[in-house]
Structure 1
């Protein structure tokens, strides 16, 4: 019985350890500043050098440009015989078939995180004035992951004639996983754009998840202030991976334990030769 308890203790300890690891939040070895903001954890960097290292990861952007058609089927519909509509650009936005353009976008990027804002308005009209939707206040928000967010202020009336006046709408997501930085310029070429729930509610024409035209974005940047986007893994997925690995280990240990125990039992049950029989 004592042998059984000792043998079971190992697998049980592994299970407890796995649960503890799974429930522990992911942490980083990032620098933790002291009261003077000068110390870095796990790094032998003097305070002055630390400031330079931090500054190298920050870029002030003032020349960002966007080329985007919004949605080809929307343009075709508005300019067609049903809607009898049109679109107009203003406040710095441009249009050159088949794309709308925004220039001189400005903002700040810090290690792949930040917001770039653009001036310019884009107005869609049609159905004898029933549709009159204006998109303005364009921003792209980066969070160092492979997905950025396209933000608009949406005002006017939808295609169904419903009034809308929404500010800072998370209009669509942009797949930025293919962004590249070369010779001081970040380029995102023909990246997929997907309408969000909020964008669908404000725009009123397409359901959430609708694919819009690909978008092209460029701006001055360095690999430090716009590094390659890092993949994100949900905590639940990480926990499941840890637990699955430990279950495999525990299973292997259990098999070895039971096989060894059966062999030991078999040897115990083997008849012994009585010395009196000789």
Structure 2
């Protein structure tokens, strides 16, 4: 017969390590702390991902309250009209006047953009040129300064007259062409000054040149021929600037780094999130210690002596 096999471990248990549970508890506690701190780092970083950027305010439309301009038209043409050949003259009307050697224009109408890149300033009135005992009869009226962009403008006018050829042929029928882009204005030297709720556009001696449409309507001068320089000052009132519209940020948080979408972080709940994280750390550490101690106790109770 075989002797009964003893019940119990094949090898006697070694002496218990009294420091074991505490050491394992510290290891678990450190692991829990590291995990929780990492989670808090992700939560704290979340507000940066939802930050908003502010857009640059757009140009606004401003109403003209005062505008003055001076332009000699074309000095050689004035000399021809008033000289010994044409024996002519000119007359001004409305808000157009003359002070040697320039025509003066005044207006309180129209609108311009706050950055000076667009606008229209109309003037009521005009200039009536006559000569050659009535054979030359041309009226340039209702001028408008039309700003095409920040570097270019046009003087747009209505032109009524009889061509010299028709007049010489005995046809005195006048023809009117409206809104003719008469000359182009170089605005490279224009200044734009914003002062609170107003803007001032100003330029001195801006070069001008007759356009193809101007030549077709007026004759005498080929397209591109220089006319007299233009100077003006325009003052306009602008509406109160609206608050810039926030634009969503394009920055994102790596989905692999965050398993759960964090709540939107604000100034009101940021501190709440931090304290919640700290509470989670403490709870996790306490649970880890309890688990280790229970496992150790069960292990000791299950040992059976041989």
Q: Which of structures 1 and 2 has the bigger CA Rg?
A: 2
Q: Tell me which residue corresponds to 1:268.
A: none
Bigger relative contact order (CA 8 A; separation at least 6): 2
- Deviation of 1:120 after TM superposition, in Å, equals 1.3
Query: 1:33-52 maps to which residues of 2 (within 5 A)?
Result: 44=54
Q: 1:79-108: CA deviations, max 9, x gaps?
A: 011101000001121000000011024211
Partners of 1:98 and 1:161 in 2: CA distance: 31
Q: Tell me which residue corresponds to 2:66.
A: 63
Q: Secondary structure at the match of 2:141?
A: strand
Could you tell me whether the CA contact under 8 Å between 1:141 and 1:149 is conserved in 2?
A: yes
Q: Tell me which residue corresponds to 2:92.
A: 89
Could you tell me whether the CA contact under 8 Å between 2:191 and 2:202 is conserved in 1?
A: yes
1:195 paired to 2:202: no
- Deviation of 1:192 after TM superposition, in Å, equals 0.4
Q: Tell me which residue corresponds to 1:144.
A: 149
Change over 3 Å in CA distance of 1:114–1:156 after alignment to 2? same
- Deviation of 1:144 after TM superposition, in Å, equals 2.1
Change over 3 Å in CA distance of 1:146–1:222 after alignment to 2? farther
Q: 1:186-238: CA deviations, max 9, x gaps?
A: 211000000001101111221111100001111115899xxxxxxxxxxxxxx
Q: Tell me which residue corresponds to 1:176.
A: 187
Q: Tell me which residue corresponds to 1:120.
A: 125
Q: Tell me which residue corresponds to 1:215.
A: 230
Partners of 1:223 and 1:72 in 2: CA distance: 37
Partners of 1:206 and 1:96 in 2: CA distance: 24
Q: 1:52-101: CA deviations, max 9, x gaps?
A: x45x6221113111101001100110001110100000112100000001
Partners of 2:129 and 2:98 in 1: CA distance: 13
Q: 1:30-60: CA deviations, max 9, x gaps?
A: xxxxxxxxxxxx9646xxxx9xx45x62211
- 2:111 aligned residue (108, 112, 115): 108
Partners of 1:92 and 1:223 in 2: CA distance: 24
TM-score, normalising length from structure 2? 0.53
- Deviation of 1:170 after TM superposition, in Å, equals 0.7
Could you tell me whether the CA contact under 8 Å between 2:66 and 2:236 is conserved in 1?
A: no
Q: Where does the alignment leave 5 or more consecutive residues of structure 1 unmatched?
A: 1-41, 225-278
TM-score, normalising length from structure 1? 0.58
Q: Tell me which residue corresponds to 1:153.
A: 158
Partners of 1:117 and 1:141 in 2: CA distance: 8
Partners of 2:175 and 2:183 in 1: CA distance: 17
Change over 3 Å in CA distance of 1:86–1:161 after alignment to 2? farther
